[in-house]
Every structure is written in structure tokens, then in C-alpha cells.
């Protein structure tokens, strides 16, 4: 998997999260093919964090790297 493409996708997501007081940090890939991230700021503990991760973050990353298994928030 191409980590540069994954990082690019995350950079594209950041402004939307930051506009709502949140942020995202890329932590790496695990051995199973999951992208590891940490949701920060207002995203921490937000009841919408799971939906943000699944519908926003994961969808954007899959545009660049469709073979990921998924995205895990390492809060």
C-alpha cells in the first residue's frame, strides 16, 4: 500500500475536521492493512466520531488506496 497516497488523503480531510474544532493524525498501517489514525480536538469523544471515520476519513482514503481493510481510531 502506498502510504504517501494515504497521507495525501488525510491532508485533504484535515481542513473539514479543523473547521469544526477537530483534527486527525496519521499513525501508520498495521500488518493487516488497517490505517491507524487518532482523532483529535473536538473529534475526541464526539458521538459522530465513528461516522466521521467511516464515511469521511475511510471513504476519502479509499479514493486513493482502495485496498485498505479499514480505518481504526487509536484514541
Q: Are the C-beta atoms of 19 and 36 separated by less than 8 Å?
A: no
Residues in a beta bridge with 41: 22
Whether residue 47 is predicted with pLDDT greater than 70 in this model: the reply is no
pLDDT of residue 46: 62
* pLDDT recorded at residue 16: 86
Mean pLDDT for the stretch of residues 2-10: 95
pLDDT in the model for residue 28: 96
CATH architecture designation of domain 3-73: 2-Layer Sandwich (3.30)
Which H or E run contains 11? Answer: helix 3-19
Amino acid at each position: 500500500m502506498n502510504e504517501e497516497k494515504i497521507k495525501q488523503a488525510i491532508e485533504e480531510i484535515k481542513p473539514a475536521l479543523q473547521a469544526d474544532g477537530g483534527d486527525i493524525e496519521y499513525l501508520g498501517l498495521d500488518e493487516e492493512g488497517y490505517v491507524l489514525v487518532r482523532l483529535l480536538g473536538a473529534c475526541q469523544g464526539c458521538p459522530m466520531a465513528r461516522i466521521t471515520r467511516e464515511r469521511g476519513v475511510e471513504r476519502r482514503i479509499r479514493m486513493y488506496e482502495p485496498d485498505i481493510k479499514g480505518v481504526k481510531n487509536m484514541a
